[in-house]
Amino acid sequence: MAFLLPWALAFLTSRGACTAGGAAGGMRPSGRLLRHAAPPQIQVSGSPESKRAYFRQLFSKSWDAFLTELEEPGGCSVAVLLKPSPGSVGATLRVCALLGVPFLLVLGGLGSAARNKEIRISQLQRRPDWGVALLTPPEEVRLSEALGELKGLGFHTLWLSCSEEANELWEADLRHDRMAFVFGEDGIDQIATEEVHAIAHIPIEEGRGCRLSLPHSASMVFYEHQRQRECSGQELQDIKKSGIMWKGEALEFNELREACADETGFLQLVEERLEVMGTTEASAASKSSGGFHRMLQRWFHGGARIHREGATNAPWDCQVDVLLRWDGSMLNLSTLHEAVQAVQRQHPMLRARPPLDDSTDLKLGCRDSGFSTTVAATWSLLCEEIAVPRRLRELVAKAMFFCWPRTAILEDAAAFNIPVLSQSLQSGSKCNADEVYRVMNDSGWAWWDATSALNMCLVNMQTDEQVVQFLYCSITHKYADGGAIAAFVHSLQEAYQALARGEVPSRSEHPILAVQQQRLRRYLSGAAGQEGAVDVYLFDIVNDTYYHKWGHSVGVQFTHGVCDTLRMAGQRMACSEEIAWLSCIIAAMFRMLPDKLLRIMVVHNGRLGDAEGAVACTSNYVMLSIPCLDASATPLADIASRVKYAITHGKFRRPTTCEQAHARINIGGMIGKDGDFTQVFKSSRCRSSAWSRAPYVIQLRMDNEGGIWCVKDFKCHEFVDPTTFWTAAVCIGREIAEGAYTNPVEPLA
């Protein structure tokens, strides 16, 4: 991993970090902006003067030649700069080339030397095929005269003003075939104003006391022009009638501009964002779905928001689901639909959509070591090992955050339909979860919406005596965990009961988006994890640092007697069954290992503070450090008390990058009964015994399935016998259940 550190630091602190973010998250316009992947290099021989003359001839055009060329019919756009500041002409010229504006007209005097300098600043010498021209009319040509000429040639003129009294840019009609965009405040007179068809301004935050730079303003205007040209007339009318303005992506440009160190970095970002997909697969996807760009347009027209978080590395189609039996009077389908809409309003992650322009799955580690997570984890490791200056940490963290894969959160969820399946059972047949899943499988899952974060299905099972109703709920595992499905069921039950009583359920939005982004920012800043806090933990590079050996992989299912014993142990310890199991497992490890201190990575549900009750993926691994100086003489109940104390008193922290642990444990609970909803389980089978890689001494995942605990995935090192280990854990639980637990206030080593 050492070779990655200088590479990651150099990458993130350069303008390339912003370019990478643009390539990951940008919208893509139509094919007319396509650039050559390898532009031809220009070789110019002779004196420096001949070289400058060559490029001046290539990128400059006389005023008369320009007017003559415009006499030919056809669409065209021109940017007009009035007395621009030095350096801004070259940057704007490059923006024109990138965003399809072929002419840049500069009024106010631009000498030969200044023109050559601006062409160098534009960095277009290596892009002779981009077809953009710099126009410098004679000094006697006034603005009113130039605008009059353009108006006579059929140009619709827009003046970008700084006055807040003008309409916002998003309200202007920029769909004309010929558009002239005028930039500059100084020197514009009443006569010139009369030649302008429309005046607009770009709104900025109040009290900033400054303006956007000229190239930045030009990029936003040209981009809005491209967007409106691609949007159909009816779509634009619908948007304006609804009062919804296109601001989302422009604000995204503004955010990314702040992350760039200089204007050149921002221009490269724009170039990458607007590079057209050239692959056959992308073209086919664009044709079949109406285009990624059009899809994102529809989302943002509806007020979609950009969200970033350290999502799980599970793919979008991996699900966290639950099957519920309804024990009350028959469910009212219309009331249930209304309750679901209320819950979607409360929990924004239920309105998430897969980000079509981001390749988020790849960048968050699915099927490979993701680029974003690898860079972030490497940066965190660097900050842990050396003292990085605070200013540099802030700069790198900001760049990584704006380059992080994005998710679209819709403002209003699409119309949600819960399909209803029915099945009549034969006399004597059992109405259980297995039968319900068989009915859903027979339906072919045709009702499933792969683009929705939430899917539901109502199954009516007709028995000899009554109709038993089952509700299947599923949320994408990318943005949800086991605790999220429990929070969803609780919110759904509350909303349904409120509607049944004739009350209006709460529609206030949960603050989970701010919580998740704050956790991601804290991780990217390189700061150490706070004790008692659950942060983002990206471990995709960690697995490759461990020394893997072969070990046992088995499945375990406990009897009712064992589960009752551990349930009683939890009551003795005044804690949940999950903590009781964890305490007994760690105590058993102390009996089998010679170490004086065990480091245990355990999944915490993360619903602390403002994250309480969130339908989101808040859980993550935390590190427990459990001391025991003399494991052979220390009572097992005392070791168990230390585990319980560490969990209940927040004595845990985020694992450091590449920190190794003795065990990685994920113990999940169950919903049980929530109001009239009761969780039911289908029959489960233990996995067969096999050999597997063993990066930890113990690695397990276990769940409570209706009172019976089942270990879905258990891996142990080759020197650990699974039967001996679980026998020791259960015996410790029995000792505690029989009264050996003393519950000390603050256990010490």
Long-range contacts of 501-507 (CB under 8 A, 24+ apart): 505/339, 505/342, 506/342, 506/346, 507/342, 507/345, 507/346
- Residues of the chain where predicted confidence (pLDDT) is lower than 70: 1-58, 109, 125-129, 185-194, 206-210, 231-303, 355-370, 539-552, 629, 631-632, 684-695, 740-749
Residue 57: its pLDDT value, please? 66
With residues binned 3-state (H G I as helix, E B as strand, rest as coil), the percentages for the chain, rounded to 5, are 40, 20, 40
> How many C-beta atoms lie closer than 10 Å to residue 658's C-beta?
18
Contacts of 269 (CB under 8 A, 6+ apart): 15, 18, 19, 21, 22, 256, 257, 260
Which residue, 493, 334, 324, is CA-closest to 415? 334
Rounded Cα distance, 737 and 564, in Å: 10
Beta bridge partners of 456: 473
Query: Measured over all CA atoms, what is the biggest interatomic distance in the chain, rounded to whole angstroms?
Result: 101
Contact present, 382 and 389 (Cβ < 8 Å): no
For 213, residues 6+ apart whose C-beta sits below 8 A from its C-beta are: 88, 91, 263
How far is Cα of residue 540 from the mean position of the Cα atoms in its chain?
17
Spans of all domains in the chain: 41-245, 302-355+406-500, 538-740
Q: Give the pLDDT of residue 287.
A: 38
pLDDT tens digits, residue range 90-139? 888 888 888 888 888 888 767 777 777 887 777 776 666 677 888 888 87
Q: Is 276 helix (H, G, I), strand (E, B) or coil?
A: coil
Q: What's the confidence (pLDDT) of residue 491?
A: 93
pLDDT in tens, 724-747: 888 889 988 998 888 766 655 444
Cα→Cα distances 661→17, 385, 651, 658, 692, Å: 32, 19, 16, 10, 18
DSSP states of 558-572: --HHHHHHHHHHHHH
How much is the pLDDT for 334? 92
C-alpha angle 641/644/645, rounded to 5°? 85
**Cα within 13 Å of Cα(507), Cβ side:** 12
**In the prediction, which pLDDT does 2 show?**
40
Q: Give CA–CA dist 240/664, Å, rounded.
A: 54
Q: How far apart are CA 366 and CA 609, in angstroms?
A: 30
Q: What is the CATH number of domain 538-740?
A: 3.30.559.30
Question: What count of Cα atoms within 13 Å lies in the side-chain half-sphere of residue 531?
Answer: 8
Q: What pLDDT is stored for residue 324 in this prediction?
A: 92
Contact indicator for 354, 501 with CB cutoff of 8 Å: no
- Asked if residue 230 lies in contact with residue 29, where contact means CB atoms within 8 angstroms, the answer is yes
Topology of domain 41-245 in CATH is Alpha/beta knot (3.40.1280)
Return the HEC string of 675-712. Answer: CCEEEECCCCCCCCCEEEEECCCEEEEEEEECCEEEEE
Say whether 673 sits in a helix, a strand or coil: strand
Q: String of b and e for 284-297 (b: at least 16 CB within 10 Å)?
A: eebeeeebbbbbbb
**HSE, side-chain direction, 13 A CA sphere, residue 4:** 13
Cα four-point dihedral sign 213, 218, 219, 223: positive
d(CA 247, CA 415): 24
Say yes or no: do domains 302-355+406-500 and 538-740 share a fold. Answer: yes
Beta strands in 173-245 (DSSP E): 178-183, 198-201
CATH of domain 302-355+406-500: 3.30.559.10
Q: Measure the CA–CA gap between 149 and 179, rounded to whole angstroms.
A: 13
**How much is the pLDDT for 500?**
92
76 touches 70 (CB < 8 A): yes
- pLDDT at position 342 is 93
pTM over 0.85: no
Alpha carbon distance 216, 263 (integer Å): 9
User: Strand (E) positions, 433-487?
Assistant: 454-462, 467-476
